[in-house]
Amino acid sequence: MAQRDYLLRMIEQMGQVLIRLRKMLAGELAGGERFQQHLDDAATRFGITPGLLREATPETLAMLLAPTVDPSRCWLAAELLYLEGLEAEADARRDDAISAYEKARLLFRLIEPAGAMLTGWPEGAARLDTIRQRLAALDVPGGDPD
């Protein structure tokens, strides 16, 4: 029971953090807040090393997560990378956006078809479709098909 309560609190906190990041990205929060710092804080808070997500190649991330993938942690890492890609794209940092999207795509693929089963949050398949569209919009060769 205590572990279940702990997990529920963690999921709720994760949701609040991601909502705040999305609002920052959409410009709904007042200026002065640094998106990247909040993204890094969110990753660290949930046991994910932001520098590793940012610097590792997609293949290295897959190797680090295999053979046993924790769907919730993998989903969170993928979602953080997706948000980082959106932020980079909004700042016209094309290469950074592509890198983040490709890593997010790889991680979402690791948890499909089951997804992370986080009620109310986009499943991996939905994010994969969105990422495919974002990469196609950035004219990434071969980015559109899976």
Q: What is the pLDDT of residues 27-60, one digit of tens each?
A: 665 544 577 777 788 778 777 787 888 888 888 8
Count Cβ neighbours within 10 Å for each residue of 101-140 and write b for 16 or more, e otherwise: bbbbbbbbbbbeeebbebeebbbbeebbebbbebbeeeeb
**104-140 pLDDT, tens digit each:** 998 888 876 555 455 555 677 788 899 999 999 999 8
* Tokens 């959409």 -> residue: 26
pLDDT above 70 covers a percentage of the chain that reads 73
**Better pLDDT: 16 or 145:** 16
Which whole-number Å values give the CA distances from 96 to 29, 99, 137, in the listed order? 23, 5, 14
Helices (H), 46-146: 50-55, 58-65, 71-90, 94-111, 124-137
What is d(CA 116, CA 108) in angstroms, rounded to the nearest whole number?
A: 9
CB-based contact 18:79 (threshold 8 Å): yes
Query: Domain coordinates of the chain in residue numbers?
Result: 2-137
Cis peptide before 67 (omega within 30 of 0): yes
Question: 74: closest CA among 88, 84, 64, 83?
Answer: 64
Per-residue pLDDT band at 18 (split at 50, 70, 90) = confident
**84-97 pLDDT, tens digit each:** 898 889 889 999 99
What is d(CA 103, CA 126) in angstroms, rounded to the nearest whole number?
A: 16
Arithmetic mean of pLDDT over the chain: 77
What is d(CA 52, CA 27) in angstroms, rounded to the nearest whole number?
A: 27
pTM: predicted TM-score of the whole model, two decimal places: 0.72
What is d(CA 5, CA 131) in angstroms, rounded to the nearest whole number?
A: 33
| pLDDT over threshold 50, residue 146 | no
- Looking at residue 87, its pLDDT comes to 86
| pLDDT over threshold 80, residue 24 | no
